[in-house]
């Protein structure tokens, strides 16, 4: 597979701060249409994912931590959890937003590094949400005048580390810190079943969920770096696949419906693709250890794809933070971490040193050339700073980019990957 840039969505002039442009920090696809929403600063902006055209923009007055399009087909709104702890509905048709739920007590702004959990179901206009390692889940309606907020105390008094709703069934999955996952009915909150391994396999709790679009398979990425597959088609669910992706927690996982592959993202930014073993004999389930096999997809060459179609190479190289995949179409989105904007001074200093080394290597390789590839677009302000500092600030400009894959030169339709920088 070959990765190539289609075009860029320029977000440099949206939500501009006092000193530098802000980075997009959340993205979501519409469940059925070719639309993508990106959160940058206090704005949520909707684009046509194919043409790159900006369609609408909403200023909600606070930064988004998590967001998703409402899966109710009649809705054209994003449900977002923002930094002040409120849950908001943002309607793109009217470009208006309103508060669905606000915390009982005023909270300090929640940082982007804080884990917050949110799950939506297409079967009911509600959103389930909670804070990391709390003991309860809150449910509230997603339409004006809908269901009043209600706190749900689960039957297990354990810290909750993730939430997910099944894409086709009325089931809410609650993941606990010891690796156990409970499936609850979204109406009665009765327990359907439990997904749990024996004590010989150490788990730290689900970091991400994905669902097969047709089979009754659930994929779970654990915070211990373990990838699991569960078959929930029977009254007693069984684990059908397990593999160790790495030592880092799995932060994002998604099923690519057209290619029939599973993609995982680890906390260190590693993106890997997996294919599931074909079951030739339905009377004999596959070996758990050989269910997942690495798929033959080349790694993303970030500098090369960023520099195509008039783009700029980014140094230091951005780290992949999360993955979003369109549930129906050949569309996906990668969210990159903003390392330079982090609060950890030591980490930021190390990241900047690495960036200087990478940039120096690039400049060394370009000796004797005109250098126009660095400056061919945009404006540099050289007042009061060194040249290298301004080059560094300029080439880390924030963009929303679109890519396509030529699937082994055999398919005419494109798989488009939208990268949020």
Question: Is residue 38 situated within a structural domain?
Answer: yes
Q: Is 370 a member of any domain?
A: no
Q: Which residues contact 334 (CB under 8 A, 6 or more apart)?
A: 265, 271, 320, 321, 322, 323, 324, 417, 418, 419, 420
Across 120-132, average pLDDT: 95
pLDDT, residue 284, reads 66
pLDDT for the residue 331? 77
Pairing, β 415-420 against β 331-336: parallel
Tokens of 112: 């982007």
In a domain, 404, yes or no: no
- CATH no. for residue 196? 2.130.10.10
Question: What spatial distance separates the first Cα and last Cα of the chain, rounded to whole Å?
Answer: 22
Evaluate whether residue 344 is within a structural domain. no
Residue that has been written with the tokens 């990391």 in this structure: 132
pLDDT band at 7 (very low <50, low <70, confident <90, very high): low
Whole-structure pTM over 0.85, yes or no?
Answer: no
Q: Where in the sequence is the domain holding 328, given as residue range(s)?
A: 24-301+317-337
Residue 239 within any structural domain of the chain: yes
The residues, any chain, with a CB within 8 Å of residue 171's CB and separated by 6 or more, are: 165, 183, 184, 185, 186, 192
Phi, psi of 323 (to 5 degrees): -130, 135
Residue 330 lies in a domain: yes
- Residue 98: pLDDT band with limits 50, 70, 90: very high
Distance CA 121, CA 166 (A): 7
Structure tokens at 387: 């040249």
User: Is the pLDDT score of 234 beyond 70?
Assistant: yes
Indicate the number of domains in the chain: 1
Whether the CA torsion 206, 421, 396, 110 is positive or negative: it is negative
Whole-number pLDDT of residue 213: 92
Asked if the structure places residue 387 within a domain, the reply is no
In this predicted structure, what is the pLDDT of residue 358? 62
Is the backbone peptide bond immediately before 316 cis, with ω within 30 degrees of 0?
A: yes
Distance of CA 149 to the CA centre of its chain: 26
Mean predicted confidence (pLDDT) in 83-103: 93
pLDDT of 286 over the 60 cut: no
pLDDT value at 316 more than 50: yes
Look at residue 376 and give its three-state secondary structure: coil
Interhelix angle 345-365/387-395, nearest 10 degrees? 100
Residue 406 lies in a domain: no
């Amino acid at each position: 597979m070959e990765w190539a840039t289609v075009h860029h969505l320029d977000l440099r002039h949206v939500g501009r701060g006092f000193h530098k442009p802000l980075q997009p920090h959340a993205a979501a696809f519409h469940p059925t249409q070719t639309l993508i929403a990106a959160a940058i600063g206090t704005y949520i902006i909707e684009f046509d994912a194919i043409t790159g055209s900006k369609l609408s923009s909403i200023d909600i007055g606070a930064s988004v931590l998590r967001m998703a399009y409402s899966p109710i087909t009649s809705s054209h709104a994003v449900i977002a959890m923002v930094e002040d702890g409120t849950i908001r509905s943002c309607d793109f048709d009217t470009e208006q937003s309103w508060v669905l739920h606000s915390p009982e007590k005023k909270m300090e702004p929640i940082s982007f590094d804080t884990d917050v959990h949110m799950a939506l179901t297409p079967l009911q206009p509600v959103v389930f949400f909670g804070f990391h390692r709390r003991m309860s889940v809150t449910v509230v309606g997603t339409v004006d005048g809908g269901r009043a907020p209600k706190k749900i105390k689960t039957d297990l008094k354990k810290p909750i580390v993730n939430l997910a709703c099944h894409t086709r069934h009325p089931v809410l999955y609650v993941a606990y810190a010891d690796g156990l996952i409970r499936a609850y009915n979204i109406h009665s909150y009765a327990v359907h079943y439990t997904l749990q391994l024996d004590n010989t396999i150490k788990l730290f709790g689900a970091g991400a969920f994905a669902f097969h679009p047709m089979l009754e398979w659930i994929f779970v990425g654990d915070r211990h770096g373990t990838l699991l597959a569960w078959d929930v088609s029977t009254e007693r669910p069984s684990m059908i696949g397990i593999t160790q992706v790495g030592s880092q927690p799995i932060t994002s996982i998604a099923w690519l419906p057209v290619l029939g592959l599973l993609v995982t993202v680890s906390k260190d930014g590693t993106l890997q693709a997996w294919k599931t073993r074909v079951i030739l004999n339905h009377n004999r389930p596959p070996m758990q250890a050989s269910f997942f096999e690495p798929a033959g997809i080349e790694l993303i060459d970030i500098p090369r794809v960023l520099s195509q179609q008039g783009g700029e190479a980014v140094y230091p190289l951005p780290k992949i933070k999360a993955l979003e995949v369109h549930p129906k179409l050949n569309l996906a989105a990668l969210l990159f971490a903003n390392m330079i904007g982090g609060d950890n001074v030591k980490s930021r200093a190390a990241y900047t040193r690495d960036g200087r080394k990478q940039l120096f290597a690039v400049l060394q390789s370009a000796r004797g050339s005109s250098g126009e590839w660095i400056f061919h677009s945009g404006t540099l302000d050289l007042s009061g700073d060194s040249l290298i500092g301004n080059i560094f600030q300029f080439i880390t400009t924030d963009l929303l980019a679109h890519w396509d894959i030529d699937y082994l030169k055999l398919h005419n339709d494109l798989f488009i990957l939208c990268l949020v920088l």
